[in-house]
Amino acid sequence: QNLESRLKVILPDDIGAALMDGVVLCHLANHIRPRSVASIHVPSPAVPKLSMAKCRRNV
């Protein structure tokens, strides 16, 4: 709940799957220390799942 309130997002019950692509973690890092992650790869509506290479770049 603390993470959800800080980032203003709603995470699913399966927190592991939500954190696997690194998007939420990158946003958290930028919330704690602004501009600490310069580029965040996010899924698009056309391709809802990130490739493993982009997930690794996020993490």
pLDDT in tens, 21-37: 888 989 999 999 999 99
Q: Where are the domains of the chain?
A: 2-58
Cβ contact 18:55 at 8 Å: no
Measured from the Cβ of residue 46, the count of other Cβ atoms closer than 10 Å reads: 5
What per-residue confidence (pLDDT) applies to 34? 95
Q: Please state, in angstroms and rounded to a whole number, the distance separating the CA atoms of residues 39 and 4.
A: 21
Spans of the chain below 50 pLDDT: none
Three-state secondary-structure class, residue 8 = coil
For the whole model, what pTM was predicted?
0.74
What per-residue confidence (pLDDT) applies to 59? 65
Q: How does the average pLDDT of the chain come out, rounded?
A: 87
Cβ contact 21:51 at 8 Å: no
What per-residue confidence (pLDDT) applies to 32? 92
Tokens of 2: 């603390």
